[in-house]
Amino acid sequence: MFEGRDPIYHQIAEAIRGEVLSGALEEEDQVMSTTQYATTYRINPATAAKAFAQLVDEGVLYKRRGVGMFVAPGAAERLRAERRQAFFAEWLDPVIREARLLGLSITDLTDYLTTHADSTPAATTDTEEGR
């Protein structure tokens, strides 16, 4: 955990987004408190709080005063819509570039996609403890 160069709160926020997208965290599920986050991952509570604040701004989480943080209604759908917009530029453009370098044609790529789409398992996240 936390091997990347991004600030840790970015990495925590991204892990929670991943869990919301994968369904490990569902709408209205409570997420761990900042204290639980801090002791589980041995990070500063302020770092966890920063990640939560960012997710509240994005509408992924909302706060129930005195109770804790919960996954906002429609959070997964909103995240999915945002990621769909970025998907082609972020994921497929590099694939096309690399394929060109390797002398693979677009037909090779589409053939691969059609034959392999059904046999590839759905993505899972590393952290299942966010509940």
Partner 1 sequence: MTGYAVHTEALGLSYGRTPALTAITLDLAPGRIHGLLGRNGAGKTTLMSVLASLRRASEGTVRVDGQDPFENEPVMENVCLIRESGDLLTDEKLTTNLNFLEGARPRFDRAYAESLMEDFRLNPRKKPQALSRGQSSAFGAIVGLASRAPLTMFDEVHLGMDAPSRQRFYDELLREFAEHPRTIVLSSHLISEIEHMLETVTILHEGRLLLSGEADDLHSRGATLTGPTAVVDRHVAGLQVVGTRDLGPTRQATVFGELDESALAAATSEGLQVGAVPLQDLFIHLTDTQTEEVS
Tell me, residue by residue from 15 to 54, as one string, x for binding to partner 1 by CB under 8 A and - for no binding: -------------------xx--xx-xxxxxxx-------
Token output for 131 = 């509940």
Q: Give the DSSP letter string of 21-67.
A: HHTSS-TTPBPPPHHHHHHHHT--HHHHHHHHHHHHHTTSEEEETTT
- Here's the x/- map for partner 1, 82-111, by CB under 8 A: it reads as ------------x-----------------
User: Judged by CB under 8 A, does residue 3 bind partner 1?
Assistant: yes
Let me know: does 69 contact 52? Beta carbons within 8 Å: yes
CB 72 within 8 A of CB 30: no
| Beta carbon nearer to partner 1, 23 or 94 | 94
Among positions 5, 64, 65, 116, the unique one binding partner 1 when judged by CB under 8 A: 5
Residue 8 found at the interface with partner 1 (CB under 8 A)? yes
2 near partner 1, judged by CB under 8 A? yes
**Residues 60, 16 contacting (CB under 8 angstroms):** yes
CA dihedral 46, 49, 53, 55 (to 10 degrees): 130
Does the footprint of partner 1 cover residue 13 (CB under 8 A)?
no
Binding site residues, partner 1, CB under 8 A? 2-5, 7-9, 34-35, 38-39, 41-47, 94
